[in-house]
Structures are given as C-alpha cells and as structure tokens.
Amino acid sequence: MAIYRLDRFFKDKELSGTMVFSILFSAFVFLFLAALIFFLFIEGFPALKREGLQFFTEANWFFRISEYKAASMIYGTFMVSLIAIFIAAPIGFGASVFISEYLSGSPRFFAKSIIELLAGIPSVVYGLLGILFLQPFLYKNFDLNSGDTLLTAGVLLSIMILPTIITLSDDAFRSVSSEERETSLSLGLTKEETFFSTVFPKALPGFIVAILLATGRALGETIAVFLVVGRADNRLPNSLFDLDPVFKAGQTLTSKLGGSEIFIAYGNPEHWSSIVALGLFLFVFVMGCVLIGDLILIYRDKSRI
Amino acid sequence: MELKVKNLSVLSGKEQIVKNISFSLNENEIVALVGPSGAGKSTILRSLNRLADKESGLKVEGEVLYDGKNIFTSYSLNELRRKIGLVFQKPCVFPGSIYKNVLFGIRHHKSLKKSEADDLVESMLKKSHLWREVKDRIYKSANILSLGQKQRLAFARTLATDPDILLLDEPTSSLDPYSTHEIEQVLLELKQNKSILLVTHLLQQGKRISDRVLFISSSNGPGEIVEEGTVSEIFDNPKNNETKIYFQNS
Amino acid sequence: MRYYFRISKDICFKSFSLISALLTFGILALGLWLIVLKGFSAVSFDFISSSMSQGGLSGGILYQIIGTFILIFTVLLIVSPLSVGIALLRSFYLKNDKSRKIFTTFLYVINGIPSIIFGIFGFFLFVKFFGWGKSWLTGGILLSMMILPTVSLSLSEGISRIPKDYIESAKSLGLSSSAVIFSVVLPQSFSSFISGLLLGLARAAGETAPLLFTATIFSGADIPGGIKESPILSLPYHIFTLAQESYQPQALENAWGSVFVLILIVVFFSALALPFRLKSHEEANV
Ligand SMILES: Nc1ncnc2c1ncn2[C@@H]1O[C@H](COP(=O)(O)OP(=O)(O)OP(=O)(O)O)[C@@H](O)[C@H]1O
Ligand SMILES: [Mg+2]
C-alpha cells in the first residue's frame, strides 16, 4: 500500500537503493532542523511564560539577581540592522546597476567574481578590521565616548552585507532579457529610462528579496558585531526619536548569545531558558525575512506564467 | 532625410561579420535588403540604430551620414535612435497593456495629454492594422497577443515615435497574406514622408513595394553587397551568378 | 528643455551607480590591501610550522591550521553524501512542482538560520545532552548542516539543467533509474557539485560562531585523540580571541598573520571553484 502511493510524490514507481538513501539522508537533515526548532521553542518558552510581555518592553537583564528582560538587545539588533540596510541598500543598488547595466563580457564576470570573493571573507576578519580601523575612525570623526557602539556595528555590517545585496540584485536585474533592453533603447530611451521602465519593474521582487535576505544576514551576524558593539547591557532610548543609545556601547541578541554567559546559564534553568528565548527571537525575526522572501519569489514565478 | 552608408564594416573581435557596405537611402524611398540567412542583414540594421556598437559589443567601422552628419559622432544616442527607428525581427512586448506598449517610447520624448495619447494609440494601431482585433482590449495585457499581433504592435510602437527613417527587419514574417498586404499598403503610404530600409525574405514583397534592391551575400566570408539595382534590373536580369541562383530557388 | 532634463537624469543615474561601484570596490581593495600589508609581514615559515606559546603572544599557528583542515575534511565527508541525496530527491525524484517548492523552502530555512543558533543548539545537544564536551566532530557536524543548502542547491540546479533527452535516452536503453543516476545524472552535474562544495567549504573554513561553545578552544589541544571527546584549535577562533586582546602589539601581530593564512585558505577554495562554475555555466548552454 505504501509502495503504491509512492508515485503520488515521486517519479519512480518502485523503490531503489539510491532512492532509499536519498530519502533517508533528506529525512535525517529534516530531523535535525525539526530538533533545532523544537529545542528553541521547548527550551525558550518557559522564559516567555515567566516574564510575559515585559520580556520585550523592559531593559533589565541582571542574571545575578534573576532579572531577565531583553528589550535593549532587541532594540540593539534592530538598530544595528537598520543602520546596515540604510547604508548598504542604496550603495548596493547602485553598484549592482553598474555591474548589470554598464558592464558586459569579461569585466562583468571579473567584477562579479570579486564581489563573490568579498562575500566569502569570514566575519571574524571583518571584525578585526572593524576593531582596528573602523572603530578609531568613527571615534575620532563622530566625537564619541568610545569607538565600540551600535553605530560601529551597523556600519561594519553594512559593508558585510553589501556583497549579498549586489550579487542577488544583479541576478535579478540580469534576469530581464537583453531583447527588452535593446527594444527600449532602440526607441530612443536613455539608459536610465530603460532601466526604470523595463528592468526595474520586472526585477523589483528580486531586489526586495535581496534586501530581505541581507537584512536576515545582518540580524543574525554574530562575530563581527560581538567585537565592535561594546556589549553594554540594558540601554534603551528615552523616546522613539532619541538616537543617543546608537552612539553608545550596546548589546544585540547575537552579541549576547555569543558571550560566555552561555556557560554560566546552562546550570540555571531560568537563566538558560531566557538565553534560549533570545535565540528563539532571533530565529523568528530571521525566518520572517527568509520566508517572506521565499513567498515573494513563489508568487512572482506564479504570476509570470 | 537621406541616409548615406559608406564602407561600413562590423567586426566581432577580429572576425568580420559584414564588410564594405555602401549604399544610400534617399528621401521617400523604400529599399529592400535581401540575401540568405546569416548574411548580416540584421547586423546592418542594428549598426544603423547604434545597437551593434553600444550594446552588442561589436566594432563598427566606416561612416554613416544622416542628414549629412555622421551618426557615430554628431548625434546623441536618443535623438538618433528616435529619428532612425528599428523594428526587430523578433518582436518583444513589454509587460503591461497594449495601450502602454504603443506609448512606451514616445511618452519619454514628449508629454502627451490624455486625449492626444488616446488618439495616437488609435491611429498607430490602425496604421499597423491591429486596431480592429484589439480595440476592445487595449487596456489588457499585451503578452497574450499572438506572434503576428505582437509583430504589428512592435511596428506601431516604433511608428509612434515618428521616426524619419524606418529600419524594418522582416516586419511581416509572422503575418498572413492579407495582413501582409495591408502592411505593405501602409508602407507605401509612409513613404510619402519617410525613408524605409526593409529586410525581407519575400521576393514578391520586394518586387511589390521597393524602389531599389540590395543583395547581400556572405558566401565568401563576411557579408557584402554583391548586387544593387532597381527592382526590374535585379529581379529580371541579375548580373551576379549567386543572385541568380538565389532568385531561381525562391 | 525636456531633452536636457532627460540627459541630465541619465548622467546622474550613471554617476550614482559608478560612484557606488567605486565605493564598494574601494572598500574591498582597502580591506584586502590592509590584510596583505599587515599579514604578509607577520607570516613566516616559523609562524606556520610551530605551535603557539605564551597564550598566543608568540609561537606559531601550526595546530590552528591543522585544526581548520580537520574541520574542512570532516565537513567534506559529511556533506558530500548528504547533499547528493538531497539534490537527487529535489531534482530527480520529486514529481510535482509543489512538493519541490516546499522542499526548496526547507533548504532555504536551514540556509537562513543564524550561525550562532547552530552553536547554541549544538551546545545543548552534543556538548551537554550527549555529554561529548567540546568536540571537533560536533564542529564538523554543525558546519556541515550550515553549508548543506549551498552545496545541495548548487548540485540540484546542475541536475535540473541536464537536457531531458539525455535522461530519457538513457532510460530508453533500459537502464534502471539508479543506473541512470550514476551514468548520466551525477557525471553531467559534477561541476555544479564541485563548485557548490568548494564555495561551501570556503565558508565553513571561516566560521567561528557555531564553534564557540561546541568545538574549539584557544589553547591546550593539538591533534585530537578521540572521536567525540576531543576539542580542537582553529584559525577563526584563534583570530577571534586575539582580536579581543588586540591592544597588545604581539597579539595583534599574530592575529594579522592568522588572518592572512585564513584568507589564503578561503580564497584558495573560492578560486578553485571558479573554473567549475564556468564549466557548469557552459553545460547549461549546451
Ligand atoms: N553579437 C554578435 N557577436 C558575434 N557574432 C554575431 C553577433 N551578432 C550576429 N553575429 C553573427 O553575424 C552573422 C550575421 O547575423 P545576422 O543576424 O545579421 O544575419 P541575418 O542576415 O539577419 O540572418 P537572418 O535572415 O537569419 O535573420 C551571423 O553569422 C551571426 O552569427
Ligand atoms: Mg536577421
């Protein structure tokens, strides 16, 4: 009976050894993912239940006196990613336009390979460069009390997510055929008019997905942020428009999770659960970006046909 | 305005695609460019619209004078491309309505009031002999049109920018004999104030509407114009052996 | 008037994109130049062939390099079979578009998980629950899971690009579907597999976050003696630790040296992937 239903999902009607392995391996990976998600929810949930809404609204994390309120880390994560996207989106847009619309042939291939190389540089290397060059640079030029700030982390992140934005948007722009470009040019439109009337409308979903995935990457980046963010707990702005904490040391979800507090936390169920809850949040935010991006692509491909 | 092509050669890297192309296209004239597939007809049209050198990365040598001035040096791209319009061999319609497609080029060149735009769309679609079929759905997507309809839409779109010189790359290749006939009538009408360079595989079409014929062949390497003459000269009395064979087999 | 407006818009657009591109490549060039400048002088034969001493202030990074390669090799062994299985399921076995889309989303989800979450999950499951303590094997497993989507999707795209006729003509000769896989599908998509694998390994070589609590220590390990209870040294973690002591000139010097070596490893793998990527693009245009 089970074998009979195989052909509802699979092209092959009979099981073969290769197919069994293929399914088993995939099931194993699926199990790993399921276990990871299960872990985040089961271990993180008690903290949410215990702390309630205050977990997000109050900045009060002192594990020695069993206070676990995470608002400042959530704030830090959002500000840092916001700064990064704010800087990287326009520059990434411009650079990918240059690569896809003004370069062709081997210069284009060369530029793309370099950008992809840049994407492969480990975050710890960015972190070290951040400590040694970006941090003193911002310290001097922005009149800060210390060079380790949310701003520093945001600027460093913007450099790190640039390659992601550029490669993905270039792919999106390039998916518009050269016939469409040439037809538009042949009618006497400028490159700019051609871009905005033929390329961009078609590539817009792809560009949005590029920004979303880059945001996901910024939200989840740990090592580089850890090294330059200052890791000062419990700072929140006084009002919505108070940008002061951005220019001071701060803490993000990832910089908290990357610290050695993990080892202390494990022995204490309350503490551990609060730590995992931070991870759960991070996971939910990042998955939000990834899944919305995926939906946009699915919807786009559907409406194209 | 007249177009004078002198010693035009197009190269891809070191390899020549066409060489030493010289001809002129006079005012109020239809010139047919015929020859075997792959000879370089589309390449010539694309170099006159400056897509070959600017977009395909080909090298274009020689001189092309439009209104007495060199197209490679004396005109800005947009100005030139508007004056020398090109209709592609393979039509490409943009996402969006038929209406939007007709206005795609012209609305960048000048601002149109709604009523002007409506009138323009109607007259262009009539000229391209498409109006009757689509008049009830000009605000619907252009993508669902048939290939032949798309070809006529592309023609209307180029016509809407009001070019002086029309470069047409097999504009009737996907059309039935009746529509073909209608388009030919339109071309004869357009001849009153434009010049037309027409690539065609239909010799009868060349015979019916063109004033002169250029025969291009690439049997000895890069494409070259091997014979040029009036319709009667070249069809009834070809001097070149290759031209003769080509015409006999059609 | 309108004409000049159009032209100036066009020029602005071009200048903006040119400046953005220059800025991007400028930052990149500056970064790489700094790494080479600072790193090259810090690297010597002694540095890469001796072990660390004085808490990283002197000595070399031999065991960090070895540790990184052990991790890469472990990842290679785990990822290869898994990614082949996953790619076959996605591109060869799955019948309809819908299940393929769901399966793809599943891979995107794994690909999107922040690396630190792998670290915390690994810490919970392997270090504590299984009681392995810090272990190079855990590191290998976590890194494998992280790069698995990259490798699987690359191979899977390669499989999807194989012309249908190839597979159909092989089937028409009476080959079983396993035989079709081993004689047509996998050989035809080999370059996609290798290019994905090399890019994934380059990424794995530089990862720090998942290893923080699960696999790496800063000092006191050399060649791991056990299968699952032995921690390991690695280059990224070494740099990470030294970076936090960068106020000491010697620590900084050694950090630069390690960065230089790590970048060489990463660039080596990425550069190795290039010809395979070109090849898989050519295969796509058959
Ligand atoms: N961008 C290019 N790079 C290199 N070669 C090209 C390029 N464009 C065209 N060619 C070559 O130039 C030759 C002429 O092509 P072209 O399209 O001009 O032929 P054609 O006369 O229009 O043929 P057809 O009647 O089939 O449309 C062909 O051999 C083609 O391969
Ligand atoms: Mg042609």
Per-residue model confidence (pLDDT) at position C286 = 43
Residue A287 within any structural domain of the chain? yes
Per-residue model confidence (pLDDT) at position C283 = 59
Per-residue model confidence (pLDDT) at position C59 = 80
Amino acid at A27: A
Sign, CA torsion A209/A214/A217/A218: negative
Out of A125, A190, A279, whose CB is closest to C117?
Answer: A279
- What are the angstrom distances between the C-alpha of A281 and each of A40, A71, A219, A276? 9, 11, 11, 9
pLDDT tier at A240, thresholds 50, 70, 90: confident
The partner residues of B224 in beta bridges, in order of sequence, read B217
- Give alpha helix (H) positions in chain B: 41-48, 51-54, 77-83, 98-103, 106-109, 114-127, 131-134, 147-160, 177-190, 203-209, 231-236, 241-248
B56 lines ligand 1 (CB under 6 A): yes
Residues of chain C with pLDDT under 50: 286
Domain C45-285 architecture: Orthogonal Bundle (1.10)
HSE-CB for B4 with a 13 A CA cutoff = 7
CA B214 – CA B224 distance, rounded (Å): 10
B241 burial (CB, 10 Å; 0-12 / 13-18 / 19+) is exposed
- Mean of pLDDT values over B178-196: 92
The residues in C 142-201 lying below 8 A from A, measured between CB atoms, are: 145, 148, 176-178, 181-182, 199
Tokens describing residue C221: 């390990």
Tokens describing residue A147: 């060079």
Q: Closest residue (by CA) to atom 4 of ligand 1?
A: B12
CA C283 – CA C92 distance, rounded (Å): 18
Which residues from chain A sit within 8 angstroms of residue B90, using beta carbons?
179
CA C128 – CA C126 distance, rounded (Å): 6
For residue B107, what is the nearest residue in chain C, using CA coordinates?
C2
What DSSP string describes A25-93?
HHHHHHHHHHHHHHHHHHHHHHHHHHHTTHHHH-EEEEGGGTEEEEHHHHHHHHHHHHHHHHHHHHHHH
Residue C109 neighbours by CB distance under 10 Å = 19
Quote the distance between the C-alpha of residue B118 and its chain's center.
25
* Angle subtended by helix axes A17-51 and C115-122, to nearest 10: 90
Residue A67: pLDDT over 90: no
Answer whether A186 sits within 8 Å of B90, measured CB to CB: no
- What are the angstrom distances between the C-alpha of A299 and each of A168, A209, B177, B209, C157? 18, 12, 41, 49, 20
Rounded to 5 degrees, φ, ψ at C250 are -70, -40
B41 lines ligand 1 (CB under 6 A): yes
Model pLDDT for residues C37-81, shown as the tens digit of each residue: 999 988 888 888 888 777 777 788 999 999 999 999 999 999 999
Residue A60 neighbours by CB distance under 10 Å = 18
Q: How far apart are the first and last CA of chain A?
A: 36
HSE-CB for A304 with a 13 A CA cutoff = 12
CA C244 – CA A226 distance, rounded (Å): 10
Q: Where are the beta strands (DSSP E) in A218-301?
A: none
Tokens describing residue C90: 């996605």
CA C282 – CA C263 distance, rounded (Å): 29
Helix (H, G, I), strand (E, B) or coil at A115: helix
Per-residue model confidence (pLDDT) at position A7 = 67
Helix (H, G, I), strand (E, B) or coil at B137: coil
Which residues from chain C sit within 8 angstroms of residue A6, using beta carbons?
none
Model pLDDT for residues A112-153, shown as the tens digit of each residue: 888 988 888 999 999 999 999 998 888 888 877 788 899 999
Ligand showing the shortest atom-to-Cα distance for residue B17: 1
B40 lines ligand 1 (CB under 6 A): yes
Tokens describing residue A259: 């610290």
Answer whether B92 sits within 8 Å of A185, measured CB to CB: no
- C9 CB within 8 Å of a chain B CB: no
- What are the angstrom distances between the C-alpha of B189 and each of A171, A176, B128, B193, B208? 45, 36, 12, 8, 14
Per-residue model confidence (pLDDT) at position C282 = 67
Residue of B18, B37, B43 with the most ligand 1 atoms within 8 Å of its CB, for mutation: B43
Residue A219 within any structural domain of the chain? yes
ipTM field: 0.92
- Mean of pLDDT values over A267-281: 93
- C4 CB within 8 Å of a chain B CB: no
Residue C39 neighbours by CB distance under 10 Å = 21
Tokens describing residue A27: 């099931």
Per-residue model confidence (pLDDT) at position C169 = 85
CA B148 – CA B136 distance, rounded (Å): 18
Quote the mean pLDDT of chain B: 91
Quote the distance between the C-alpha of residue A288 and its chain's center.
10
CA C138 – CA C161 distance, rounded (Å): 35
Q: In terms of Cα–Cα distance, which of A100, A104, A211 is closest to C21?
A: A100
Per-residue model confidence (pLDDT) at position B246 = 80
Total-model pTM: 0.90
Q: What's the domain range around A294? A: 68-304
Tokens describing residue B93: 């319609």
| Locus of tokens 């407006």 | C5
- What are the angstrom distances between the C-alpha of A212 and each of C105, C113, C156? 15, 14, 24
Model pLDDT for residues A228-238, shown as the tens digit of each residue: 998 888 888 88
Tokens describing residue B156: 């209307």
Residue A49 within any structural domain of the chain? no
Q: Closest residue (by CA) to atom 9 of ligand 1?
A: B43
CA B18 – CA B10 distance, rounded (Å): 5
Q: What is the CATH number of the domain that holds A295?
A: 1.10.3720.10
- What are the angstrom distances between the C-alpha of C76 and each of B16, C71, C140, C269? 49, 9, 9, 12
Per-residue 3-state assignment (H helix, E strand, C coil) for chain C: CHHHHHHHHHHHHHHHHHHHHHHHHHHHHHHHHHHHHHHHHHCCHHHHHCCEEHHHCEECCHHHHHHHHHHHHHHHHHHHHHHHHHHHHHHHHECCHHHHHHHHHHHHHHHHCCHHHHHHHHHHHHHHHCCCCCCHHHHHHHHHHHHHHHHHHHHHHHHHHCCHHHHHHHHHCCCCHHHHHHHHHHHHCHHHHHHHHHHHHHHHHHCCHHHCCCCECCCCCCCCCCCCCCCECCHHHHHHHHHCCCCCHHHHHHHHHHHHHHHHHHHHHHHHHHHHHHHHHHHHCC
CA C187 – CA C151 distance, rounded (Å): 16
- C28 CB within 8 Å of a chain B CB: no
| Locus of tokens 């942020």 | A225
Could you tell me which chains touch chain C, where touching means 3 or more CB pairs under 8 A? A, B
Residue A5: pLDDT over 70: no
pLDDT tier at A1, thresholds 50, 70, 90: very low
Answer whether C17 sits within 8 Å of A26, measured CB to CB: no
Per-residue model confidence (pLDDT) at position B203 = 84
Q: In terms of Cα–Cα distance, which of C171, C189, C188 is closest to C180?
A: C171
Residue A125 within any structural domain of the chain? yes
Residues in contact with A190: Cβ distance below 8 Å, sequence separation at least 6, in sequence order? B77, B78, B108, C6, C7, C9, C10
Number of separate domains in chain A:
1
Quote the distance between the C-alpha of residue C83 and its chain's center.
14
| CB contact at 8 A, A24 and C85 | yes
Residues in contact with B153: Cβ distance below 8 Å, sequence separation at least 6, in sequence order? B91, B93, B98, B101, B102, B128, B130, B142, B145
Residue A199: pLDDT over 60: yes
Residue A11 within any structural domain of the chain? no
B42 lines ligand 1 (CB under 6 A): yes
Helix (H, G, I), strand (E, B) or coil at B6: strand
CA A206 – CA B17 distance, rounded (Å): 37
HSE-CB for C108 with a 13 A CA cutoff = 22
CA A74 – CA C170 distance, rounded (Å): 56
